Amino acid sequence: MTDTSQHFAEGDFRVGRVLSRTFSVLSRNLLPFCLVTVIAALPNLLISAPGARAFAPATITPGASAIRLLLGFGLSMVLNALSQAIVLYGAFEDMRGRPVHLIESLRIGLRRFFPVLGVALGAAILTALAGILLVIPAFIVATMLLVAMPACVVEQLGPVKSMDRSKRLTKGHRWKIFGLWLLAMVAAGISQSVLVGLAKIIGGSTLALITFLAWSAIFGAFYAIMVVVTYHDLRVAKEGVDTDQIAAVFD
């Protein structure tokens, strides 16, 4: 097995290495991680999942529709925050050469649930406020706060300190991080459109819905791992620590 605990030179943060390690971790843990993220993707059925309207009552009122959307967004935020914390711990265990246990990952995720939810809510609010001003500031804020979630779980920080920690870790590498994020988002959007479109042509709304959920689970796991690996590599590059030192808090 490749040694993932090696030291890298100060400032040595590479997008290619982040993507390579992300794919490696995902390929070794595709099923368990996707079991977690598919649950987090279920609230999308209440929001805008392709094919979901085919199963909705035809007589649904505007008020009921608004409630469904609010419920969907609320559940999505809660479940996504928890799923990211679970996958985060599992990814660190994999990078340490240890087996991934979902029960243990769930225990760690639940232990940090409220701080993690606070980070998710705070990051969403700050990004939205930046978006009200202009599109570019929203991207800047999203990039600055990208690794706030792993900082919250690994370093056991509160929401505000986690976001501040993310801001300091990403400093000096934000263009690379933004490029990494943008590449992932564009690739995911194109892939989803193609796969769901083909599924709808082949099998109608039901197959399109299943494909949407499956792709959401896979990309959700990929994105969570990508954020964890970004956090890991930023700390290795800027602080000279290794994987075991970073994850020692879990022992």
- For 226-242, b/e burial (b = at least 16 CB within 10 A) is bbbbbbbbbbbbbeebb
Tokens representing 125? Answer: 């609010």
The answer on pLDDT for 142 being more than 50 is yes
> What separation in angstroms does the CA of 36 have from each of 15, 20, 28, 49, 60?
26, 22, 15, 18, 30
Q: Count CA atoms closer than 13 A to 83's CA, side-chain side.
A: 28
Residues 143, 189: Cα–Cα separation, whole Å: 19
Domain ranges of the chain: 15-250
pTM score over 0.85: no
Residue ranges of alpha helices (H) inside 96-173 are 102-111, 113-133, 135-144, 148-154, 159-170
Which tens digit of pLDDT belongs to each residue from 45-82?
A: 666 655 555 444 444 555 556 676 677 677 878 888 88
CB 149 within 8 A of CB 109: no
Which has the minimum average pLDDT: 69-73, 81-85, 226-230?
A: 69-73
**pLDDT value at residue 240:** 79
**pLDDT value at residue 47:** 60
Mean pLDDT of 4-8: 40
Which tens digit of pLDDT belongs to each residue from 91-126?
A: 988 988 888 888 888 988 888 889 999 999 999 888
The answer on pLDDT for 44 being more than 80 is no
Residues 22, 223: Cα–Cα separation, whole Å: 9
Sign of CA pseudo-dihedral 144, 117, 52, 221? positive
CA neighbor of 92 nearest in space, from 232, 240, 251, 238: 232
Residue 135 — very low, low, confident or very high, per pLDDT cuts 50/70/90? low
Residues 133, 113: Cα–Cα separation, whole Å: 31
Mean pLDDT of 211-231: 92
**pLDDT value at residue 244:** 65
Mean pLDDT of 178-201: 92
**pLDDT value at residue 55:** 43
